[in-house]
Amino acid sequence: MDNSRFSPGRWFARTGVAVGAAALLVTGAWHMSAAPGVAAQGVAAQTPSITHAIAGGRDSYADVVKIIAPSVVTIRVEGKASVSPAQFQFPDGPSGDFFRRFFGDPGDRDDPAPAPRQRAPRQRGLGSGVVVSNDGYILTNNHVVDGADTIQVDLTDGQNVTETITAKLVGTDKASDLAVIKINRSGLHPLAMANSENVEVGDVVLAVGNPLGVGQTVTMGIISAKGRSTGSGSGSYEDFLQTDAPINQGNSGGALVNLKGELVGINSQILSSTGGNIGIGFAIPSNMAKHVMDQLRTNGKVTRAQLGVFVQPVTSDLAESLGLKNVNGALIGSVTADSAADRAGLKRGDVIMSFNGQAVHDTNTLRNRVSETAPGSNADVTIIRDGSEKHVSVKLDQASGDKIARRDNESGSADQSSLGVSVAPLTPELASRYKLPRDAHGIVVQDVDPDGRAADAGIQAGDVIEEVNRQPVQSVEDLRAALGKSTDRPVLLLVNREGSSRFVTVRPNNG
């Protein structure tokens, strides 16, 4: 699946480790007792519906906050930090000389004294969570509780901590970065869960959590965008709501609510150049959270459906080459043998436009639509094949991993074509040199003009061109003939790189 990532000039840190100029941070915080550090966070929730308007038309959100404040908790976790044992050494200076005179230097002895046993430092973390049932279930982020030996929950009345209770872990889902914990309490105040499909860009929202451990804090902003994918780490299923409501470390797992006091998202990440809020925060939509939460509460784990296709985004050039009216959908690069898609007759080159009546905007949308469908159920998939719309019924498999889609599948006498590549027929020797599968077919790229259009499209030496404008090519002559038929559209190539196929568009050098 192709998850959009931020440019290389920025940096990502899950525990506050910098790797560039701007960072995606999970909004919780882990630290060791000896040396503070940065890291985890918390959640969102669901339950009976609360319909509450701002009383008397006052320019205030106080009445909404009074409803939601008891539903958002602080989560404190503790676990062992991984450290390597230190080598025993005498201290430097006079005190070290004193010990050496009486005991000798350990390095000079045949049986050096063993290194003294040291107690491993403890790592502590802080995040937030949302009460989702009156009998003690709490939704939070996976990264808030991941690796924790103990989990403590601070209940609050919105101003002060009223009780601290030990929680047990019910289940986690790393792919969505969600987790459910439970405390032994009843009569709690669960937060109502809204339908996040109804959220619109521009809606006013409140973010509630415990940033940097200062205590429960409420901030205000709007929904800045929907359907964001940050590709920030282990979270494979992403459909973030973006908000400018101030979110900081410790807010993870906290609530993003609408003005009815209903949960619309789970605060999860921020993009920042400093580690602090700059107005770009991300929350997991309540619908995704509810789907994962229900499975964790029922089964302790999450099962997802699998279509069995490798897809790529539809770019403007691809849309033009395929004759599509819009730059939407997910283009199938290959179909896994004996998968649900294969059995249903889906083919390479099909463009998936909708899944069960819901539009597929890109590869991330498709992955999320499939993942929310029960394995073994039938799905109606709308595709564009050779310019015509077609409906296909697919009985979905159960996913054994994240195999719904993936990112780039980059895969004789030479001939310098107008694409800016030097190619030759694929021989066993070339297949071995470029580590290609035995059944590879097409023509192999031996050299790429660094100033040519093929290089701009990402084609590399060792790639095998299998098709040109949907026509198979087996020789240099086939390539010349296919290019000779090209129109003013970009040339559509099917390229195999190390066994994986992907469509690539290239504008000829004379284009």
Annotated active-site residue 186? The verdict is no
Cβ-Cβ contacts under 8 Å for 152 (sequence gap 6 or more): 75, 76, 77, 78, 164, 165, 166, 167
- In the set 2, 31, 133, 143, the catalytic residue is 143
Closest to 374 in 3D by CA, of 451, 269, 294 = 294
Annotated active-site residue 252? The verdict is yes
DSSP-assigned letter for residue 13: B
- In the set 128, 133, 196, 252, the catalytic residue is 252
Angstrom distances, CA of residue 491 to CA of 82, 465, 508: 53, 12, 7
Separation between Cα atoms, residue 119 and residue 100, nearest integer Å: 25
Separation between Cα atoms, residue 85 and residue 281, nearest integer Å: 39
Burial string for 342-359 (b: 16+ CB within 10 Å, else e) reads bebebebbbbbbbbeeee
Judge contact between 72 and 138, C-beta under 8 A: no
Cβ count near 4 (within 10 Å): 13
Tell me the pairing of strands 178-182 and 161-173. Answer: antiparallel
Closest to 156 in 3D by CA, of 212, 208, 194 = 208
Judge contact between 329 and 2, C-beta under 8 A: no
Q: Take residue 325 and report the two structure tokens written for it.
A: 């009216």
DSSP alpha helix (H) spans, 107-221: 142-145
Q: Assign 448 to helix, strand or coil.
A: strand
Separation between Cα atoms, residue 384 and residue 169, nearest integer Å: 45
Judge contact between 346 and 311, C-beta under 8 A: no
Judge contact between 398 and 318, C-beta under 8 A: no
**Phi, psi (rounded to 5 degrees) for 202:** 105, -15
Q: Take residue 362 and report the two structure tokens written for it.
A: 């890109």
Q: Assign 44 to helix, strand or coil.
A: coil
Judge contact between 436 and 502, C-beta under 8 A: no
- In the set 2, 146, 173, 177, the catalytic residue is 177
Angstrom distances, CA of residue 281 to CA of 256, 267, 284, 493: 11, 8, 10, 38
Closest to 328 in 3D by CA, of 367, 360, 356, 364 = 360
Q: Assign 197 to helix, strand or coil.
A: helix
Beta strand segments in 19-102, E: 23-26, 29-32, 72-80
Catalytic residues: 143, 177, 252
